[in-house]
Amino acid sequence: MIVFARHGQTAPNRDGLVLGRADPELTEEGHRQAALLAAALAGEPVAAILSSPLLRARQTAEPIGEACGVPVVVDERLVEIDWGAWEGRSTGSLAKADVARWKADDGTAPEGESLESLSRRVDSFCREQLDQDGLIVAVSHVSPIKAAAAWAMGVDGTVAWRMFLGLASITRIGQGRASPVLLSFNETGHLHVAEERNR
User: Which one from 25, 44, 66, 80 is the annotated catalytic residue?
Assistant: 80
Phi then psi dihedrals of residue 30, to 5 deg: -60, -40
User: Which one from 7, 113, 141, 187 is the annotated catalytic residue?
Assistant: 7
Q: Which helix (H) or strand (E) holds 113?
A: none
The SS3 call for residue 167 is coil
Answer yes or no: 80 catalytic. Answer: yes
Answer yes or no: 7 catalytic. Answer: yes
Q: Quick check: 90 and 17 in contact, CB under 8 A?
A: yes
Distances (CA, A) of 78 to 23, 24, 43: 14, 16, 24
Gap between the Cα atoms of 71 and 52, Å rounded: 14
Of 192, 174, 190, nearest in space to 182 by CA: 174
Burial class (CB in 10 A: 0-12, 13-18, 19+), 95: exposed
Would you name the residues annotated as active-site residues? 7, 80
